[in-house]
Amino acid sequence: MNQFELTEKLRLDKWLWAARFFKTRSLAAQAVEGGKVKLNGQRVKPAKELHVGDALDIHIGDYTWQVTVRVLSARRGPAEVAKKCYEETEKSQARRLAQVATRRVENEPATELHGRPTKRDRRMMKRFTGGG
């Protein structure tokens, strides 16, 4: 990790961006403001200082990560290095992997809820009817 700036304290939104939870810092800041990210069980502002050992609960879509901060890096790098910035709890990882497995098995949500065809369905219907 010698290629990254390591600090003692860092803004929460900047760390979330550097750890690759969000594509941009503004998305990270919006998530923190919206209560999707909790620091040590409490809602905080994006500029809150983060320290090594802090616990984060991160909600993105249907998925939840419970992580402990291991390294404070202010620079965004490859995913392999970003994973070293935090340690996910085993319970969180197991729950998230189970969600991924069930999503693969279940039907497309658009088909279930609204009866609307998905993009894949539309392509298959076009092929079947000979439309081009």
Residues of the chain scoring pLDDT < 70 = 1-7, 107-114, 132
Q: Mind listing the pLDDT tens digit for each residue in 54-72?
A: 999 999 998 999 999 999 9
d(CA 50, CA 72): 8
Distance (Å, whole) CA 48 – CA 90: 26
**How high is the pLDDT of residue 121?**
86
For CATH 3.10.290.10, the residue range(s) in the chain are 1-88
CATH superfamily of this structure's domain 1-88: RNA-binding S4 domain (3.10.290.10)
Using an 8 Å Cβ cutoff, are 4 and 74 in contact?
yes
